[in-house]
Chain A
Amino acid sequence: MAAALFRFPGNEAGWADNDAGAEGKRQSAVIELIDISKTYHIGDSDVHALDEVNLSIDDGEFLGIVGPSGSGKSTLMNIMGVLDVADCGVYLLDGTSVESYSSGELARIRNRHIGFVFQNFNLIGRMSIEENVELPLIYRGMKAAERRPLVEAALEKVGLLDRRRHTPNNVSGGQQQRAAIARALVTEPSLILADEPTGNLDSHTGAEIVQLLHELNASGRTIVLITHDSTLAAQTGRTVHIRDGKVAEE
Chain B
Amino acid sequence: MSVLEVNHVKKVYKTRFGGNEVTALKDVHFSVESGEFVAIMGESGSGKTTLLNILAALDKPTNGKVLIDGKDLTELKDSERALFRRSNLGFIFQDFNLLDNFSLEDNIMLPLVLAGKKYDYMQEKMMPIAKTLEIEELLKKYPYEVSGGQKQRVAVARALITEPSILLADEPTGALDSKASTNLLKQLRNINKTGQTILMVTHSNVAASYADRVMFIKDGEVFHQIYKGGLSRSEMLDKICDSVTVLMRGEKENESQVD
Task: Answer yes or no: do A and B interact.
Answer: no
Q: Show the binding face of B for A, using Cβ within 8 Å.
A: none
